[in-house]
Amino acid sequence: MGLRIGYISAGRRGPETIADDLRTAGCEVVKAETGSGRILASILEFIGEGDELVVPSLAHVIDQSPLEILDQLERKHAILYAVHEEFSTRG
């Protein structure tokens, strides 16, 4: 298994608590969006084969072109995991 990268979208309440939850879920790195959308873009650029993008819930990516995100992750052989829904793109 690769690196687990946590992502918190902009405008969420209590990002510190959410970040702690993501670390508990095994994330080595947790990044919070500032509103520009650049954090997610940089994660998608950086993420590699076997790595996992971990979000607290699908709501954190639903307003940011989720199909495009899934396509980018698939091309890099990376995984999306949503903690709340227990949703994973792992085969």
- Phi, psi for residue 3 in degrees, rounded to 5: -75, 135
- Under 8 Å between Cβ of 31 and 59: no
User: Global pTM?
Assistant: 0.91
pLDDT digits (tens, 9 = 90+) for 20-64: 999 999 999 999 988 777 999 999 999 999 999 999 999 998 888
pLDDT of residue 11: 78
- pLDDT for 35: 75
**Which pLDDT score, from 0 to 100, does residue 19 have?**
93
